Amino acid sequence: MQQTERHPWNRDFEWWTPDGPHRALTDVQAKQFNDEGFVVLHDVLDLDVIDELRSELDANEAKTAAFLREQESGRLSIAEDGAITFTTHVVVRNAVARAFSAHPVFVDLCLDLIGPDVNLYWDQAVYKKPEKPRRFPWHQDNGYTFVEPQAYLTCWIAITDATPDNGCVTVMPGAHRDGTLAHRSTPIGFECWGDANAALAVPVRAGSIVVFTSLTPHFTAPNTTAEVRKAYIVQYAPSGAVAYRPQPDGSRGPAEPQDNDGLQFPVVKAGQLVPAQSA
């Protein structure tokens, strides 16, 4: 699969980010995000906040893991007991996660990198287990569900230290400007073109955030340590974003507004914080 092979629905894409002044980012960081498709905010979240969130995520993930153990082969789609779990929509049932999604650092990032009207789009805890080490393939987040506008924001929060040995994020800088690339389905997830020579591992300590666009190709290596690597991902999209899903004939279905009140609630409206409602 070549870099120039675009997703068939990717037409007339133009990369764009808001002008400054910036709130969460310096001008240098904003330029890096624009040029390379990612930036790292080291140690920006208080560890007491992370510890409280970790406790809530652990309890929710334990239910996910128990569910997987009940499935044939311990798998459901790309989640696998002992390898990797995805605990989605935590904000829908957990007040701590819901409040965390409206933390000031995310509000400021939304204003810096998306605009004045932004909704939460998705959230999930991703736990990479050591029992069955496996990589998670090169992909763009917009390669899983095709969203318009194609560029939304992913905030990958390290709940535990993330290292090259336990599966920190690895990105391909600068490959976001072509929009959504073609992806193929594999047993371990959707996969797009990836250049190992351009890959840049991004190790971070707990409480840090790897911020990247939904168009930045990235992957995570196997966890070869003895401990679980824990991350929480919150994603934000411009208000009015819609999703398209493939039809049997390969065409895309009708536009699906991404404005579910329970999950995709406003975080910023007219440039102002919208306080998170109770879960």
How many whole angstroms separate alpha carbon 146 and alpha carbon 138? 16
Q: Answer whether residue 125 is part of any domain.
A: yes
CATH number at residue 226: 2.60.120.620
Q: Answer whether residue 11 is part of any domain.
A: no
The pLDDT-based confidence of 181 (bands split at 50, 70, 90) is very high
How many whole angstroms separate alpha carbon 232 and alpha carbon 246? 28
Q: Answer whether residue 194 is part of any domain.
A: yes
53-65: pLDDT as tens digits? 999 999 999 999 9
Would you state the pLDDT for residue 278?
58
Concatenating the DSSP letter of every residue in 115-179 gives -S-EEEEEEEEEEE-SSS---EEEE-GGGTSEEESS--EEEEEESS-B-TTTT-EEE-TTTTTT-
Cβ–Cβ under 8 Å, residues 146 and 244: yes
How many whole angstroms separate alpha carbon 105 and alpha carbon 115? 14
For residue 76, give Cα distances in angstroms to 16, 70, 82, 189, 222: 36, 10, 12, 12, 19
Q: What is the mean pLDDT of residues 39-60?
A: 98
Which tokens is 70 given? 């009940």
**Nearest 10 degrees: Cα torsion 174, 177, 182, 187:** 40
Closest CA to 16 of 146, 217, 140, 151: 151
Q: What are phi and psi of 59, to 5 degrees?
A: -65, -40
Q: Answer whether residue 15 is part of any domain.
A: no
The pLDDT-based confidence of 1 (bands split at 50, 70, 90) is very low
Which tokens is 24 given? 């969460």
Q: Answer whether residue 14 is part of any domain.
A: no
Cβ–Cβ under 8 Å, residues 149 and 10: no
Q: Answer whether residue 276 is part of any domain.
A: no
DSSP code of residue 252? B
State yes or no: pLDDT of 3 exceeds 80. Answer: no
Cβ–Cβ under 8 Å, residues 137 and 185: no
Lowest mean pLDDT among 189-193, 207-211, 272-276: 272-276
Label the pairing between strands 266-269 and 118-128: antiparallel
How many whole angstroms separate alpha carbon 276 and alpha carbon 265? 8
Q: What is the mean pLDDT of residues 133-162?
A: 95
Q: Answer whether residue 17 is part of any domain.
A: no
State yes or no: pLDDT of 279 exceeds 70. Answer: no
234-259: pLDDT as tens digits? 999 999 999 999 998 888 999 999 99
- H/E element holding 277? none
Closest CA to 233 of 246, 218, 245: 218
State yes or no: pLDDT of 130 exceeds 70. Answer: yes
- What total of structural domains would you count in the chain? 1
Residues written for the chain:
279
Q: What's the number of CA atoms in the CB half-sphere (13 Å) around residue 201?
A: 12
Instruction: Please state, rounded to an integer, the average pLDDT across all residues of the chain.
Output: 94
Domain that holds residue 194: 29-270
Q: Answer whether residue 189 is part of any domain.
A: yes
Concatenating the DSSP letter of every residue in 157-168 gives EESS-B-TTTT-
